[in-house]
Amino acid sequence: MTLLSVQNLSLSICPTPILKDISFTIAPGEILAVTGESGSGKSMTALAVMQLLPDTTETCGQILLNDSDLLTQPEANLCTLRGNDIGMVFQEPMTALNPLQTIGTQVAETIRIHAKAPKAEAMAQAAAMLTRVGLPQDRFPLSRYPHELSGGQRQRVVIAMAIARRPRLLIADEPTTALDVTTQARILDLLKDLVAEFDMGLLMITHDLAVVADMADRILVMRKGEIVEQGATQQLLSNMQHPYTRALFEASGHTVDLPALQGTPAPILTVQNAVRDYALPRTQLFAPRAFHRAVNDVSFTIHQGERVGLVGESGCGKSTLTRAILGLEPVQSGQITAFEHPVGAAMPAALRLKTQVVFQDPYSSFNPRHRVASILTEPFHLVQNPPKGAALQSLIGEVLTDVGLTPQDAQKYIHEFSGGQRQRIAIARALITRPELIIFDEAVSALDVSIRAQILDLIADLSRRHSLAYLFISHDLSVVRTVTDRVLVMQNGEIVEEGATEAVFATPQHSYTQSLIAAAPVLPDLVALTSKTETIYDPA
C-alpha cells in the first residue's frame, strides 16, 4: 500500500525549472530520506507535497495522497489536509514558532482548526502531545513562550504541532540541521519512535548522509531538480550507481592529508586560567546582579604550525573564548598571551596582524558594496606602512591564487561568487597579512559537503605551504577529527578534555566527550556494508 505517490512531478517558477520529472512513493510507517546539496530541489519537493509553493509556480504531474491528487484539489480542501493528514516540521526552530503566542496556544491551534474542539479540550490534547514529544507539563507548562525554550525544545514544540492530529504523512525539512549533535540524536530518535507509533510515512529532507544512513528505510538522491538515484538505504549505499551519489558520499566522509608536525615548536598563543563573566539581568529590582560564567578557568597553548580543534555544543563558551583570544572582549581574570604579548587594546598592530579569523557565514560577512580587492586589503588599515601600488596588487594576486581563485577576481563584487568561493575570499582576507595563527570559527559549517571537502583540502594545503597554526572551532566532530592534531572539548565554559585528536576520538575519557561522539551520526563503513549485503544477496 502506498500512502504518498508522486508521479512525474515537474515544477517551474517563472520559466526557471526547479523540479524535473520527479517520481517516488512513501508507504505508511516508512522513512524516505531525500538528500542532495543546496539547490537540488529537496525543499521544493516538500513544499510541493504541502502545496505551499510560491504563487507563480507552475506544476505538472501528480501528487497522490491516498489516491487523491493534491494538485487538483481546491485550496479549501488543502487547508483541511494540511496539519490534519500531512504535518510538517521545519529547519529553523528559532523562527518557526510565533513569538507572541504561548506554546500551548500554538499546539492547540492545530487541534482546534481541524477538530473544532472546545478550547479546554484542545489544550488538554496539546498538553498530552507536548508530553509525548518530551516536554512534560510540570517543567514545560502550556503557558511558556517560545523565547523561554532552547532550540531543541522549540523543535519539539514544532513536532508536537505537526503530529497533534496524528497525520498520515509527516514531512521534516532538515529538522536537525540547526541543532547540536546530542540534541540532534534525541530529535531523530523521537521522530523514529513517532513514525513507528503512529504508523506515519516520513519524508525527511537532509543534506547529511550520515543522518540518512542511520534512520531512513529508503534514500532518494537529488541533483539540480532531478532524482539521480533512489533505493533501499543499505542497497543504495553498498552499491551506489550514480557518480554523483558516490561523490556526495565521499565528500561527506572526506579526510584531508594533513602534513606532519615537525619538532617541538615554540608556543604562539597561551591562554592561562581565562575567566569571562557576563552580567545577567536583575531578577528583582534591587537584587544584586547575577553573573553567567561563559568561560571558566580555561588554559591551553597553541604552538607554531599546530592545528587545534575546539568542539562543544552551542552555548558552551566557544564563541566567547574566540572573542577573548582576538582581543575583542576582556577577560575578568587569567591571561591570554599571543606572540609573547598580552592580548588586548595595548597590543601593537604588527602583532595583531599575526592572528586572523574566518567566520561561518560567507554570505553576510562581507560588505556587498566593496570589490574583492578592498575587502582583502581591509586588514591593512591597521598598519602604519601598508603595502601600496604594484606591491599591493601582487600581494592581492598572490593570496587569491593561494586560495584557488585568480588575480582577476580582485575587481569583482562579492555577489558574483558562490558560497564556497566566498569562503575562499574570507580565507584570502585572513592570509593577506601573512598571519601565523588563524581562527576558523565554524568556517565550513554553512557549506555543502562537496564544497566543504574542497575548503578543508585548501586549509590543509595552506597549512603545509605556510606552516600555519590554527584553532578550528566546530560543532561537527568528523571535520575536527580530520583537520586537527589536537582537540579541546568544551562544556559549560570549561575544557573537560584535551589531547591528541585521534586518541580523544578513539578513546574518549570524559563522559561528555563520550556522549558527544556517541551522538554524532557516522557514515556507514562501506566495506562492511558491501560484505553484509553480499552475504544477504549472494545466491551461492
Q: Note the residues at the interface with another protein (CB under 8 A).
A: 50, 52, 75-76, 79-84, 87-88, 90, 92, 95-101, 109-110, 113-114, 145, 147-148, 158, 161-162, 281-282, 285
User: Residue 104 in contact with residue 126, Cβ under 8 Å?
Assistant: yes
**Which residue number, 100 or 391, has a Cβ lying nearer to another protein?**
100
Rounded least distance, CB 87 to another protein, Å? 7
**Which residue number, 15 or 281, has a Cβ lying nearer to another protein?**
281
How many Å apart are CA 18 and CA 260, to the nearest integer? Answer: 46
**Which residue number, 99 or 539, has a Cβ lying nearer to another protein?**
99
Rounded least distance, CB 360 to another protein, Å? 20
What is the rounded radius of gyration, in angstroms, for the C-alpha atoms of the chain?
Answer: 26
User: Residue 308 in contact with residue 486, Cβ under 8 Å?
Assistant: yes
User: Residue 165 in contact with residue 110, Cβ under 8 Å?
Assistant: yes
**Which residue number, 88 or 213, has a Cβ lying nearer to another protein?**
88
C-alpha cell at 82: 494540511
Q: What are the angstrom distances between the C-alpha of 35 and each of 13, 30, 159, 205, 444? A: 21, 16, 21, 6, 19
**Which residue number, 90 or 140, has a Cβ lying nearer to another protein?**
90
Strands 267-279, 333-338: pairing is antiparallel
* 3 state DSSP class of 388: coil
Rounded least distance, CB 90 to another protein, Å? 6
Rounded least distance, CB 363 to another protein, Å? 17
How many Å apart are CA 518 and CA 535, to the nearest integer? Answer: 28
**Which residue number, 161 or 446, has a Cβ lying nearer to another protein?**
161
* Spatial CA neighbour of 289 closest among 297, 277, 301, 276: 277
DSSP letters spanning 332-382: SEEEEEETTEE-STTS-HHHHTTEEEE-S-TTTSS-TTSBHHHHHTGGGGG
Rounded least distance, CB 98 to another protein, Å? 5
**Which residue number, 280 or 518, has a Cβ lying nearer to another protein?**
280
DSSP letters spanning 400-436: HHHTT--GGGGGSBGGGS-HHHHHHHHHHHHHTT--S
Rounded least distance, CB 91 to another protein, Å? 8
* Spatial CA neighbour of 446 closest among 144, 256, 207, 161: 207
Rounded least distance, CB 5 to another protein, Å? 21
User: Residue 309 in contact with residue 359, Cβ under 8 Å?
Assistant: no
Rounded least distance, CB 141 to another protein, Å? 14
DSSP letters spanning 16-66: EEEEEEEEEEE-TT-EEEEE--TTSSHHHHHHHHHT---TTEEEEEEEEET
**Which residue number, 96 or 209, has a Cβ lying nearer to another protein?**
96
Rounded least distance, CB 297 to another protein, Å? 28
Rounded least distance, CB 89 to another protein, Å? 9
**Which residue number, 96 or 331, has a Cβ lying nearer to another protein?**
96
How many Å apart are CA 172 and CA 435, to the nearest integer? Answer: 43
Element (H, E) at 9: strand 4-13
**Which residue number, 44 or 520, has a Cβ lying nearer to another protein?**
44
User: Residue 294 in contact with residue 276, Cβ under 8 Å?
Assistant: yes
